[in-house]
Amino acid sequence: MPDLATDLTESLSHLAYLNVLKYGSVAALTYIAMDVVETFSDEVAFIWPSRLSPMKIIFFANRYTPFVDVTVGVIMHLAASTSETCSRLWPVLVVFYALGSSLSETILMVRTMALWNFNKVVIAIMILNCLLILVPFCVVAQRYMRDINYPPQYVLEITKCVVSISDGPLWVFYAGVVFSETTIVGLTLLQQYRSRIRGAALPLVVRTMYRDGTVFYTVLLFVSVFNLVCMMVAPVEMSSALQLPLRALHSTLCSRVLLNLRAAAARASGGGIENWTFKSTGLVFDSPSTSASDSTLSDEYTDEYQLTTLPTMHEPV
């Protein structure tokens, strides 16, 4: 595969492909900002009052770190025009991208394990997924960052900050993500099928987990596969065009997984969301018109919504 510097010096027609990359990065940043604005009231209601916990830290890191790497990506694609600037920004983009994507996958994995009541086999599968994503990426990324270089200055002034080597070697990271999300979708559908076979009456929170687990994960899986195909077969100038949009989707949809679960738990407890307050001991909802004993969810389940134990699925009357 020819390198980007050679392509650009041979023909300016390749700049059209680079524009796709630039538009994608701007669209990704715009989408992240719009999603935060749209769901900010839910964040204030369901996340802010809760006690500090690992899941809360993961939520905020997953939700707001994209503003770092996606913004850096926009700067690189639209403004940076020297190799010195590129060499400073590129490691920031790679590190925050990998860290943020891993946090998003963590949210998906935790929710999948919760659906299976933290079954040991499912936990082992999720650990394997983590290893398949992180270990190959660390090995390949180190080599990629060591060998990275940039086109001549006169090329950078036209194209802005693009590397002169293909990002093809990084396919192992995205392949690991595709494998992980395929596993997550499969386990979610399997557990949903088992629940239907048992004829169990599912609580609203569990139904929300199935809905988001099926729809959101399928969307992420589709875009991840499309991104992987793009890296393999698209012209080198636009092979990374979907990477920042994929990062934006990962962050926003995984944040919505948590927000939707907490909103569903509030509704399931019998009162309107606007009437809920939070106990100081954790994210447990109190309705002015509903006592704790009337709640359809146990304190063990609602407290921080760690979902370490799913509520008993009662047989239909």
Q: Which residues pair with 278 in a beta bridge?
A: 285
- Residue 297 vs residue 13, higher pLDDT: 13
Report the candidate in 225, 255, 241, 261 with the shortest Cα–Cα distance to residue 66. 255
Asked whether the predicted pLDDT for residue 125 surpasses 90, the reply is yes
Residue 92 token pair: 């920031």
CA separation for the pair 288, 123 (Å, rounded): 38
Higher pLDDT, 145 or 193: 193
| Mean pLDDT (whole number) for 119-145 | 88
Instruction: Please report, for residues 118, 211, 220, the alpha-carbon distance to residue 193 in angstroms, rounded to integers and kept in the order given.
Output: 18, 13, 21
For residue 201, the cross-strand partners are: 314
Query: Which residues are CB-contacts of 123 (< 8 A; sequence separation ≥ 6)?
Result: 113
Does the pLDDT value for residue 12 go beyond 60? no
What is the average pLDDT value for the chain, to the nearest integer? Answer: 77
Residue type, 121: V
Q: How confident is the model at residue 149 (pLDDT cuts 50, 70, 90)?
A: confident
Return the pLDDT at 122: 95
pLDDT confidence of residue 9: 53
Q: Which of 70-79, 210-219, 277-286 has the lowest mean pLDDT?
A: 277-286
Q: What is the pLDDT of residue 310?
A: 37
What is the four-CA torsion angle of 117, 120, 124, 125, rounded to 10 degrees?
-50
For residue 277, which phi and psi values (nearest 5 degrees)? Answer: -125, 175
Phi then psi dihedrals of residue 201, to 5 deg: -85, 110
DSSP code string of 137-205: HHHHHHHHHHH-----HHHHHHH-S--SS-SGGGHHHHHHHHHHHHHHHHHHHHHHHHHHHHT-B--HH
pLDDT reported for residue 298: 37
Q: Quote the tokens at residue 139.
A: 């090995």
Prediction pTM value: 0.76
Residue 34 in this model has a pLDDT that exceeds 90: yes
Please tell me the predicted confidence (pLDDT) of residue 155. 75
- Going along the chain from its start, the domains and CATH numbers come out as 4-305 (1.20.1070)
pLDDT at 91: 87
Neighbours of 197 (CB within 10 A): 8
Residue 286 backbone dihedrals phi, psi, to 5 degrees: -120, 125
Yes or no: say if 98 and 75 are a contact pair by the CB < 8 Å rule: no
Q: 204-221 as b/e, with b when 16 or more CB fall inside 10 Å?
A: bbbebbbebbeebbeebb
Q: What is the pLDDT of residues 270-310, one digit of tens each?
A: 654 444 444 322 333 333 333 333 333 333 333 333 433 33
- pLDDT above 70 covers what percent of the chain? 78
- The pLDDT assigned to 6 comes to 55
The H-or-E segment that residue 277 falls in is strand 277-278
CA–CA separation, 6 and 164 (whole Å): 8
CA dihedral angle for residue 244, residue 104, residue 47, residue 264, rounded to 10 degrees: 110
State the pLDDT confidence band at 165, using cuts at 50, 70 and 90: low
Q: Do 287 and 271 touch, CB atoms closer than 8 A? A: yes
Q: Tell me how long the chain is.
A: 317
Query: What is the 3-state secondary structure of 194-210?
Result: HHHHHCCECCHHHHHHH
The pLDDT, as a whole number, for residue 297 is 35
At residue 60, the pLDDT reads 94
Q: CA-CA distances (angstroms) from residue 26 to 61, 74, 224, 237?
A: 21, 6, 19, 17
Residue 286: in which H helix or E strand, if any?
A: strand 285-286
40: left (phi over 0), alpha (psi -120 to 50) or beta: alpha
Ranges 69-73, 98-102, 138-142, 182-186, most confident: 69-73
pLDDT in tens, 83-112: 888 888 988 998 899 889 888 888 889 888
